[in-house]
Each structure stands twice: as structure tokens, then as C-alpha cells.
Structure 1
Amino acid sequence: MNASAAGCEAIMSFDYLLGGGLAALLLVYLTVALARPEKF
């Protein structure tokens, strides 16, 4: 594996981490909005 492939792999890991975190936050928000709709 050359240096550019390693850099690309690191970027993909960051993308997966960012996407996973965003999906988790969205899941929490929607769950709270469903459980307590009077707050929204």
C-alpha cells in the first residue's frame, strides 16, 4: 500500500465516523421528538 492509499483510507474512516455520529444524533433527536412531541 502506498502513501496515497493510506491517506484515502484515513479519509474514508473519517467519513464513516462523521456519518455514524450524525446518524446517531439524528436517531436520538427523532426518538426524543417521538416520545415528547410537546417539546417540539
Structure 2
Amino acid sequence: MGYYIYAESQTYIWMYLSAASLGLGSGLVIYGTLFGRNIN
């Protein structure tokens, strides 16, 4: 039972980290394009 909870928490942590990194990366790309357009 404890191992199951541990495995589930590890999976949830990795899913959260990957989703956060993807969101942050896309956000940076969008911000970079908008910021670059404003400069030009």
C-alpha cells in the first residue's frame, strides 16, 4: 500500500513538472515573440 502511494505521488510529481515546464516554455516563446515585435 505504501509503495503504491509512493509510486502514484512520483508519477504525479513528474506529470506536474513536465506540464509546468511545457507551460513555462510556451509562455516564454509567446512573450518573446510579442516583446520582439514591440522592439521592431
Could you say which TM-score interval applies, normalised by the shorter chain?
0.7 to 0.9
Runs of 4+ in 1 over 3 A off after TM superposition: none
Residue identity opposite 1:35 in structure 2: G
Can you give the 5+ residue segments of structure 2 that lack an aligned partner in the other structure?
none
1:20 match:
21
Using structure 2 for the length normalisation, give the TM-score. 0.83
- Structure with more relative contact order (C-alpha pairs < 8 Å, separation 6 or more): 1
Would you tell me which structure has more helix in proportion to its own residues? 2
TM-score of the aligned structures, taking structure 1 as reference length? 0.83
Identity across matched positions, percent: 11
Give, as a single letter, the amino acid of the residue that structure 2 aligns with 1:22.
G
User: What is the RMSD computed on CA atoms of the aligned residues?
Assistant: 1.2
